[in-house]
């Protein structure tokens, strides 16, 4: 997991973020975090207090039976210390409640803010950003879905246990040295052994788990491939061979699991016996200290021992925070890098001019390469000019750069050299939202069949398998029923690219129109036709002019006529190669 994040960080050119950077993003939650931390600190005092109270209870229940008032004393002390435990219960409950709530709420608020900020920043990005495979939809959605929530574990309730345990252990050590420093030194010398034993155990288990997972993955791969290609497997009678192959891969991880069980047992046994060894050594030493008259109150030996051993347990909870924190720093590194990324063309900026747009378009000596294909020049000094209200058709072989011209006009990309000018203004100076709101981009692929609306809805269904009501229900769900009902022919209105062309012709009245046409029949009436080849305009004129010229355009029309004849039997000809050059 960590290795995978490390390589991702390198790929993204990001660095691990630390707690302070994460906290910087959690600024609005600071007050809540401080309040939760104060509670964690107060809670940290509960265990040291408990260790002291515990000794007092032992003392209360070991009365001096020669004292005639021992019953009264025990009753009084018993009630008092019971009350003290009640106080601890209250403090523990309240501090836990506040900690869990306020750390939890802060973590959720941070996650929500980060998620929306990351998404907003993604929305600002330009087309080149999305062309990059590192920003594929899968990667971006993983960042939003899993990496953002991982960041929150740096400031959720687990961080409370770190403060809590720090306070707890410090107070425990303080109490221990206060009551019997010799004993404190001994206990502190032995305690790290317990930590070492547990640490070794964790490390050893993690190591084995890594190799194990890899082996298991191999056997899983065999199973997956075999099942996916079961027909081939059966046809070639490979079942037996695959079975042995699968078992072979299983063998190693399961053998390791058995070994792991034994080693796990050994390390658990070792770690837990160390705990009692600590007590054994401490009591033995305590007795020696008392008889050597180094301690005058025997109870102080217990106070010292309990102070450290009761508080040290909290270190275990605190240690649960660090692996989560490590993951959070990686995830935060990736997320913060995404937040810091600045688009070359900011799709949501408020900056830029908002000139009156009448639709005069000029491309002046435009050079362009896609950032993801820097070695291929798509446009090589392309010049183009359209007056307001004119219709310009771009024709040319597939891949010659027609759609690229549209992308530059929409300012999805900026040219490498030259300029795209709208009404005398370089696009780079115009506010992108303003620019785009004055344009309509209509896809060239018709998505409807050239028949009635009714037939489009029931397309492919056998006659009689649907009712009139069902057709209307579907149209209502698609929110087109009202629109369709208002048409003169209602559900019998013919749709399809003929109608689409009509609608486009109407919509383009009085507007500048740049058409990337695959079917030349659709552009015969264009005010200007330009033929693009190898990133340049090689021919320009009206349909009649270009036909008379008998050049590249004429050649294209001839090619299309031949192809169209060849495919005339097909119902839909638009996407069927014939229309494409």
Ligand X SMILES: Nc1ncnc2c1ncn2[C@@H]1O[C@H](COP(=O)(O)OP(=O)(O)OP(=O)(O)O)[C@@H](O)[C@H]1O
Using CB under 6 A, list all residues that contact ligand X: 131, 370, 372-373, 378, 396, 398-404, 516, 580
Angle formed at CA 314 by CA 312 and CA 316, multiple of 5 degrees: 95
- Contacts of residue 409, defined as CB under 8 A and 6 or more positions apart, other chains included, come to 361, 420, 422, 427, 439, 514
Q: Shortest Cβ distance from residue 379 to ligand X (Å)?
A: 9
Count of beta carbons in the 10 Å neighbourhood of residue 183: 25
Closer Cβ to ligand X, 81 or 370, answer by number: 370
Q: Shortest Cβ distance from residue 395 to ligand X (Å)?
A: 9
Q: Shortest Cβ distance from residue 399 to ligand X (Å)?
A: 4
Closer Cβ to ligand X, 372 or 502, answer by number: 372
Q: What is the DSSP letter of 276?
A: H
- Contacts of residue 502, defined as CB under 8 A and 6 or more positions apart, other chains included, come to none
Q: Shortest Cβ distance from residue 567 to ligand X (Å)?
A: 17
Count of beta carbons in the 10 Å neighbourhood of residue 370: 15
Convert 259-285 to b/e letters by CB count within 10 Å (16 or more is b).
ebeeeeeebeebbeebbeebeeebeeb
Rounded alpha-carbon distances, angstroms, from residue 11 to 14, 151, 199, 343, 375: 8, 19, 32, 18, 22
CA distance linking residue 195 with residue 203, whole number of Å? 12
Furthest C-alpha separation in the chain: 131
- Contacts of residue 485, defined as CB under 8 A and 6 or more positions apart, other chains included, come to none
Q: What is the DSSP letter of 99?
A: H
Closer Cβ to ligand X, 108 or 383, answer by number: 383
Closer Cβ to ligand X, 253 or 535, answer by number: 535
Q: Shortest Cβ distance from residue 130 to ligand X (Å)?
A: 8
CA distance linking residue 341 with residue 345, whole number of Å? 12
Closer Cβ to ligand X, 172 or 396, answer by number: 396
Q: Shortest Cβ distance from residue 380 to ligand X (Å)?
A: 12
Closer Cβ to ligand X, 353 or 373, answer by number: 373
- Contacts of residue 160, defined as CB under 8 A and 6 or more positions apart, other chains included, come to 36, 37, 39, 40, 43, 99, 100, 103
Q: Shortest Cβ distance from residue 343 to ligand X (Å)?
A: 15
Q: Shortest Cβ distance from residue 38 to ligand X (Å)?
A: 54
Cβ-based burial of 17 (10 A; exposed 0-12, middle 13-18, buried ≥19): buried
Closer Cβ to ligand X, 396 or 432, answer by number: 396
Closer Cβ to ligand X, 404 or 522, answer by number: 404
Q: Shortest Cβ distance from residue 566 to ligand X (Å)?
A: 19
- Contacts of residue 209, defined as CB under 8 A and 6 or more positions apart, other chains included, come to none
Closer Cβ to ligand X, 280 or 442, answer by number: 442
Residue 308 contacts residue 174 (beta carbons within 8 Å): no
- Three-state SS for 430? strand
Closer Cβ to ligand X, 158 or 402, answer by number: 402
Q: Shortest Cβ distance from residue 403 to ligand X (Å)?
A: 3
Task: Give the CA-trace dihedral at 36, 39, 40, 42, to 10 degrees.
Answer: 160
Q: Shortest Cβ distance from residue 516 to ligand X (Å)?
A: 6
Closer Cβ to ligand X, 452 or 564, answer by number: 564
């Amino acid at each position: 997991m960590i290795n995978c994040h490390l390589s991702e960080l390198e790929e993204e050119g990001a660095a691990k973020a630390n707690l302070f950077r994460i906290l910087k993003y959690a600024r609005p939650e600071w007050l809540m975090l401080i309040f939760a931390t104060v509670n964690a600190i107060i809670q940290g005092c509960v265990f040291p207090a408990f260790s002291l109270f515990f000794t007092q209870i032992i003392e209360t229940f070991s009365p001096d039976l020669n004292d005639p008032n021992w019953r009264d004393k025990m009753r009084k002390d018993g009630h008092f210390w019971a009350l003290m435990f009640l106080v601890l219960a209250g403090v523990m409950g309240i501090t836990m409640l506040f900690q869990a709530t306020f750390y939890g709420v802060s973590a959720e608020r941070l996650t929500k803010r980060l998620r929306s900020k990351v998404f907003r920043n993604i929305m600002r990005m330009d087309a080149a950003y999305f062309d990059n495979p590192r920003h594929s939809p899968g990667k971006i959605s993983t960042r939003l879905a899993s990496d953002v929530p991982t960041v929150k574990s740096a400031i959720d309730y687990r961080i409370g246990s770190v403060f809590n345990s720090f306070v707890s252990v410090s107070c425990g050590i303080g109490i221990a040295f206060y009551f019997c420093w010799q004993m404190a030194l001994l206990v502190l010398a032995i305690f790290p052994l317990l930590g070492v034993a547990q640490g070794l155990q964790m490390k050893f288990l993690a190591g084995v788990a890594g190799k194990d997972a890899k082996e298991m993955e191999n056997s899983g791969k065999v199973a997956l491939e075999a099942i996916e290609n079961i027909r081939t497997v059966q046809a070639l009678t490979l079942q037996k061979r695959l079975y042995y192959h699968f078992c072979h891969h299983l063998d190693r991880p399961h053998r390791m699991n058995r070994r792991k069980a034994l080693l796990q047992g050994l390390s658990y046994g070792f770690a837990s016996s160390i705990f009692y060894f600590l007590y054994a050594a401490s009591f033995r030493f305590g007795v020696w200290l008392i008889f050597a008259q180094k301690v005058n109150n025997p109870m102080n030996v217990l106070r010292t021992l309990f102070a450290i051993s009761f508080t040290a347990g909290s270190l275990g909870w605190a240690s649960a925070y660090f692996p989560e924190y490590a993951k959070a720093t990686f995830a935060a590194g990736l997320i913060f890098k995404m937040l810091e990324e600045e688009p070359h063309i900011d799709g949501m900026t408020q900056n830029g001019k908002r000139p009156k747009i009448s639709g005069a378009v000029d491309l002046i000596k435009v050079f362009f390469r896609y950032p993801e294909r820097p070695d291929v020049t798509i446009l090589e000094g392309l010049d183009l000019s359209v007056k307001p209200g004119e219709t310009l058709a771009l024709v040319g072989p597939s891949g010659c750069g027609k759609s690229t011209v549209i992308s530059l006009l929409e300012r999805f990309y900026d040219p490498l050299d030259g300029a795209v000018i709208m009404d005398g203004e370089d696009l780079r100076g115009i506010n992108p939202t303003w620019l785009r709101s004055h344009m309509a981009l209509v896809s060239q692929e018709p998505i409807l069949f050239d028949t009635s609306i009714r037939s489009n809805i029931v397309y492919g269904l056998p006659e009689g398998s649907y009712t009139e009501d069902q057709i209307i229900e579907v149209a209502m769900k698609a929110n087109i029923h009202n629109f369709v009902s208002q048409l003169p022919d209602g559900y019998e209105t013919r749709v399809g690219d003929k109608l689409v062309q009509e609608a486009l012709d109407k919509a383009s009245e009085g507007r500048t129109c740049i058409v990337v046409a695959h079917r030349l029949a659709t552009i015969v009436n264009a005010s200007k036709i330009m033929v693009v080849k190898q990133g340049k305009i090689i021919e320009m004129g009206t349909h009649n002019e270009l036909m008379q010229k008998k050049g590249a355009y004429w050649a294209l029309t001839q090619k299309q006529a031949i192809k169209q004849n060849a495919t005339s039997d097909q119902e839909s000809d638009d996407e069927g190669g014939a229309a494409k050059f």
